[in-house]
Amino acid sequence: MHTLQAIITGSIQGLSEFLPISSSAHIVFSNELYNLFTNSDISNINLEEEIFFSIIIHLATLLAVVLYFFKDLKEIIFGFIKSLKTKTYSDNNFKLVIYIALSTIITGIIGLLIKNPAEKLVENPQIICFFLFFTGLILIFSEKFYNGNKELSLKTVILIAIAQGLAVLPGFSRSGLTIATALFLGMNRVKAARFSFLMSIPVIFLASLVYPIIELDISQIANFNHKAITLGFFASFIVGYLCIKYFMKLLGQLSLKMFGGYCLGASCLMYLLFQFFYHQQ
């Protein structure tokens, strides 16, 4: 793996993991574009190193969201423990932990069910364009239902978790689908984004560490390009943290229509580009 390639991929991961524009789609697009213009894969690494690098840059975005919401997480965890001791199960922190745990289970079940077709879709960037286009439509139409009055409920959490599970399909934005679903259900933008990012913590951890590490041959790690992987980690972490920070600050003022428009434009442009190049081959 080349250093520049690692930094590019890490930056793309950090930039698109939390913005509602689909990190999986953008990584696939960048790989395909590099391949089309240079006749080589941007990763240019063996399968073991590719899996390991994917784990590392996802852990970087996990660290970013944990760091940004550290005070919230501390309050939630201590509030949950206090609720268990005092048996005050109506406490908001207790409910939030239960909601996050429930969403993780639902997301995990859906993710396992559609994992195989999702992995096959990575090989077809044109289909991913359709999923990204659909993400754009969802973001735009979600604003029409926005009123910002409702709070989290069991029904709301289940529907948001289903949306998060479907985001395993490349081209569907995890943050985009979950925030948009919350808006469809009448939640406030900022509260929707906060819950979306908090519920992503166990999902990113499980998806980037527990499952892939089963497939990883640990004995091969010594042969990897550690400098490139380290720089990719920091690129993903720094860009990811800045994205969360400024996205959360601006979300109360910004409309998701802007991101929806971007998804529509990017998906159409990439589809036409891939159509042209594939027909030339």
pLDDT tens, position by position, 105-142: 999 999 889 988 888 887 788 899 999 999 999 999 99
% residues pLDDT > 90 (the chain): 53
Helix (H) or strand (E) holding 142, with range, is helix 125-142
CA distances from 148 to 87, 137, 183, 194, 216 (A): 31, 20, 7, 14, 44
The pLDDT value recorded for residue 153 is: 92
> Given pLDDT bands bounded at 50, 70 and 90, which one contains residue 17?
confident
Token match 């929806």: residue? 260
Burial class (CB in 10 A: 0-12, 13-18, 19+), 186: middle
pLDDT surpasses 70 at 46: no
Whole-structure pTM value: 0.89
The tens digit of pLDDT for each residue in 247-259 reads 888 877 778 899 9
pLDDT surpasses 80 at 51: no
The pLDDT value recorded for residue 27 is: 85
Q: CB neighbours of 253 closer than 8 A, spacing ≥ 6? A: none
Phi and psi, residue 32, nearest 5°: -65, -40
Query: Which residues face 187 on adjacent strands?
Result: 150
- Are 271 and 122 in contact, with CB atoms under 8 Å apart? no
The tens digit of pLDDT for each residue in 180-226 reads 999 999 898 889 999 999 999 999 888 877 666 666 666 677 778 88
The tens digit of pLDDT for each residue in 169-182 reads 999 999 999 999 99
Q: What is the mean pLDDT of the chain?
A: 87
CA distances from 241 to 166, 228, 251 (A): 24, 20, 15
